[in-house]
Amino acid sequence: MEHFVYDKGGSGLSQGEIKEALLKSLEGKKLKNVLIIPPDFTRFHSNAGYITNVYYHALTEAGVEVDILPALGTHVPVTEEEVTVMFGDIPFEKFLPHNWRTDVMKLGEVPAEYLEEITEGLWHDPVSVEINRMVMDEKYDLILSVGQVVPHEVIGMANQAKNLFVGVGGSDMINKSHMVGAVYGMERMMGKDHTPVRKIFDYGMEHFLNERPILFVLTVCTAPGGVINTHGLFIGDTRKALEAAIELAQEKNIDFVDTGIKKCVVYLDPAEFKSTWLGNKSVYRTRMAIADGGELLVLAPGIERFGEDDQVDVLIRKYGYRGRIKTLEEFEKPENQDLRDNMGAAAHLIHGSSDDRFSITYAVKNITKEEVEGVGFGACDYDEAIKRYNPETLQYGYNTLPDGEEVYFIPNPALGLWINKEKF
């Protein structure tokens, strides 16, 4: 089934319109057990919290048993406070943690020959298709995979099967898909469909999950001023829902600038961004818009660590954001097995560097400047930085400061992709 709903006025669908579409997607289904897989708090602005809440109450009121498995990927589990803020009055005990290292089963492989074909010969190893065991549990009559379609640095356009194979997937798929994206080149993929990483997930859906009762519930959102506007809701059990959502997200979530940005200032909400693993979206999403020799200043009051995962945090501190060539050199050294065993971290280090094309400075308050500089970024004091670049007074887009300095301000990098028209 396919059911697509678009806002008419541009200000977003109402909660009533969204609820009506969600309830319609359940019509005619005889259900006993349902598994909902929403994003975690790092995707707060997806409106998946409200959607999950509507589904939970509609199903439980009909006598259906509901389990909720947030798509954590390698992130830390959602807290009770985050559940309350994002998902409302759903009991916290209904949210089950996913462990990407231990909670998965292998379904099969994406063969090496196929990887060579889709990467133009840049990747030669097979990829294991792993997924949380709950997804394969026959007791579930329906699996609702909820998430936002938005430009993404690893796959091109997030969601749909990514919610499954990364969100509740295993280490081999997470690590290798990230590394494939890094080797192929993120700037060749961001904002696009049918990238090599997307094709890996498509292969997994077609060959290993084609008989599971999965219904995708996809949103396209913006969040001006922090208020979520859901411009489209795409419900379906085929790829058509993804394709329709991508078309709208390319319109709503990609901003073109006329020329390269000389100084870009990005604000990271401390409730959402506590690590550079997440905060580096400020790098990924702006790198195609920043001019050669330009500057990126990241206002990061909530950053307190580098990796979401303790092991990854150690690797980032050890190897740092030193650029693509340096990271690949370290990756190839036999003695650096720790980096080879965590390709996702290696890919992240590549993605998070500007390769010296522009400078990256983090303004921090919960981690030392010495630690930030130790991983290859510039660092400054947050409270000092906001005296000049105050996120409360800067407007989205170009701002001219009293002394004539021009900066481009982005209040949330996770919601878009910025591209220089001259180089697209």
pLDDT at 175 over 80: yes
**What would the pLDDT profile of 240-281 be if each residue is shown by its tens digit?**
999 999 999 999 999 999 999 999 999 999 998 999 999 999
* Residue 78 and residue 174 in one domain: yes
Q: Any idea what the CATH number is for the domain that residue 285 is in?
A: 3.90.226.30
**What would the pLDDT profile of 114-128 be if each residue is shown by its tens digit?**
999 999 999 999 999
Domain boundary among 252, 277, 306: 252
pLDDT at 15: 95
pLDDT at 415: 85
pLDDT at 367: 97
Beta strand 417-420 pairing with 254-257: parallel
- Considering only residues 75 and 329, tell me which one the structure prediction assigns the higher pLDDT: 329
* Residue 133 and residue 245 in one domain: yes
* Average pLDDT of the residues of the chain: 95
* N residues, the chain: 424
* Residue 295 and residue 344 in one domain: yes
- Considering only residues 214 and 10, tell me which one the structure prediction assigns the higher pLDDT: 214
* Residue 193 and residue 232 in one domain: yes
pLDDT at 74: 86
* Residue 231 and residue 267 in one domain: no
pLDDT at 239 over 80: yes
User: Contact 71/36 with Cβ under 8 angstroms?
Assistant: no
CA distances from 167 to 128, 135, 158, 214, 322 (A): 15, 12, 11, 15, 27
* Residue 224 and residue 265 in one domain: no
Residue 201 has phi, psi (to 5 degrees) of -70, -40
Q: Model's pTM, two decimal places?
A: 0.86
Cβ neighbour number for residue 130 with a 10 Å cutoff: 24
Angle at alpha carbon of residue 304, lines to 298 and 306, rounded to 5°? 80
97: helix, coil or strand? coil
Q: How many domains does the chain have?
A: 2
* Residue 174 and residue 119 in one domain: yes
CA distances from 124 to 117, 178, 179, 326 (A): 9, 14, 12, 21
pLDDT at 10: 76
Q: What is the mean pLDDT of residues 335-339?
A: 95
Percent of the chain with pLDDT over 90: 88
pLDDT at 96: 96
**What would the pLDDT profile of 8-35 be if each residue is shown by its tens digit?**
777 899 999 999 999 999 999 999 999 9
* Residue 72 and residue 194 in one domain: yes
Q: How far apart are the C-alpha atoms of 363 and 330, rounded to whole Å?
A: 28
Q: Any idea what the CATH number is for the domain that residue 32 is in?
A: 3.40.50.11440
Domain region containing 172: 2-252
* Residue 169 and residue 296 in one domain: no
pLDDT at 146: 98
* Residue 245 and residue 286 in one domain: no
Q: Please report where in the chains the tokens 């074909």 appear, as a residue.
A: 117
In order, the DSSP letters of 229-274 are: EEEEEEEESSHHHHHHHHHHHHHHSEEEESS-EEEEEEE--TTT--
pLDDT at 424 over 80: no
Beta strand 156-158 pairing with 359-364: unpaired
Domain boundary among 227, 252, 277: 252
Q: How far apart are the C-alpha atoms of 374 and 328, rounded to whole Å?
A: 19
347-350 long-range CB contacts below 8 Å, 24 or more apart? 347/154, 347/175, 347/178, 347/179, 347/181, 347/182, 348/178, 348/277, 348/280, 348/312, 348/316, 349/315, 349/316, 349/319, 349/320, 349/321, 349/322, 350/182, 350/323, 350/324
Q: Which of 5-9, 287-291, 419-423 has the lowest mean pLDDT?
A: 5-9
Q: List, in sequence order, the alpha helices (H) in 285-375.
A: 310-319, 324-332, 337-340, 343-351, 369-374
Q: What is the mean pLDDT of residues 364-380?
A: 98
User: Contact 4/235 with Cβ under 8 angstroms?
Assistant: yes
Domain boundary among 219, 252, 285: 252
DSSP-assigned beta bridge partners for residue 256: 419
* Residue 207 and residue 302 in one domain: no
User: % helix / strand / coil in the chain, to the nearest 5?
Assistant: 40, 25, 35
Sorting pLDDT into bands at 50, 70 and 90, what band is 1? confident
* Residue 231 and residue 319 in one domain: no
Q: What is the mean pLDDT of residues 392-413?
A: 96
Sorting pLDDT into bands at 50, 70 and 90, what band is 161? very high
pLDDT at 11: 81
Percent of the chain with pLDDT over 70: 100
